[in-house]
Structure 1
């Protein structure tokens, strides 16, 4: 009994609703507000509260429109700034890549020069190399001595006067400590 009553009620409400939906092709026309602000006051001009409310609503609508225009303008400005920043970021990244490649080339050139210089000192007579190294700045001479073959470095230090050899050895030790 209950089920048949529920089915009957469902049909009673569903069929007219279905017909109404079928007849309505465009729902928006039933839900849209078509009244103009001037039409809102039709027949209410003698009620001061209604007139004041209509004016306040009109003022609020105008303020909202101005705010929305301001927001749209600011959105456009932000989008333009973001585009400019992205472009600048791309430029900076490309410049950074160029700088890195130039730096890598420069570092490779310096390493090559140092390797050539070390090879030169490796081939020199230890006494002659000692004479040249004693005239170089101590930190530079210590760097060269650290990079030559150990046997060559030992012969060069042996050929240097003891006081200068002690200074070079201290510089070599200090450089090793700074590296770590």
Structure 2
């Protein structure tokens, strides 16, 4: 007989649950506590411990609510700061790319100018090139001599006075040693 009761009890509990599912009701509302905070103390106001506990629980709930609001605000602030940082990072990367392109363009222009200058000295007569190089700063003159064609460089150095030629040769040697 006890085995016959189990299916009946299961049906008694399953039928209301099935009806609620059929109607689409929210189970959370049904299982929620129906007593509000003020109702908790009903009939217990003469017990100081119960009143104290209820007040402490209410205070804790308020603190937790404020803390959660503060966390939500911090999260919103962090999201805004992250968006600002991402925007700024994009701007900086674009700026870096523009600077790099500008630097590459100016470096290329300088190289083109130097190549033209070297070609000019390659085409000059050695005596004329030597006269000009002796009036230039020695490190600049040595740089030019290092870049001209070796034959033209040899003829220019031969046309320079020996003291100046020794100085230019020393500058060229020092530049070669410094160069990695």
| TM-score normalised by length of structure 1 | 0.86
| 1:56-96 CA-partner distances (Å, limit 9, x unpaired) | 00001111111111111122221111111111111111111
What are the residue-to-residue correspondences of 1:132-151 with 2, within 5 Å?
132-151=132-151
Quickly say closer, same or farther: Cα 1:21–1:178, change in 2 above 3 A.
Answer: farther
- Once the two structures are TM-superposed, the CA of residue 11 in structure 1 deviates from its matched residue by 6.8
Which residue pairs with 2:117 in the alignment?
117
Quickly say closer, same or farther: Cα 1:117–1:48, change in 2 above 3 A.
Answer: same
CA distance in 1: counterparts of 2:174 and 2:13, whole angstroms:
94
1:22 to 18, 31, 34: 18
- Of stretches 133-142 and 79-88 in structure 1, the one that deviates more from structure 2 is 79-88
- Of stretches 102-111 and 79-88 in structure 1, the one that deviates more from structure 2 is 79-88
- Once the two structures are TM-superposed, the CA of residue 18 in structure 1 deviates from its matched residue by 4.7
CA distance in 2: counterparts of 1:39 and 1:20, whole angstroms:
28
Gaps of 5+ in 2: none
- Once the two structures are TM-superposed, the CA of residue 120 in structure 1 deviates from its matched residue by 0.2
Aligned positions, number? 173
- Once the two structures are TM-superposed, the CA of residue 41 in structure 1 deviates from its matched residue by 1.2
Which residue pairs with 1:178 in the alignment?
178
| TM-score normalised by length of structure 2 | 0.86
Superposed CA RMSD in Å reads: 2.2
- Once the two structures are TM-superposed, the CA of residue 46 in structure 1 deviates from its matched residue by 1.6
- Once the two structures are TM-superposed, the CA of residue 19 in structure 1 deviates from its matched residue by 4.2
Which residue pairs with 1:53 in the alignment?
53
- Once the two structures are TM-superposed, the CA of residue 17 in structure 1 deviates from its matched residue by 6.0
Where 2:135 maps in the other structure, the secondary structure is coil
Moved over 3 A (4+): 10-21
What are the residue-to-residue correspondences of 1:23-172 with 2, within 5 Å?
23-25=19-21, 26-172=26-172
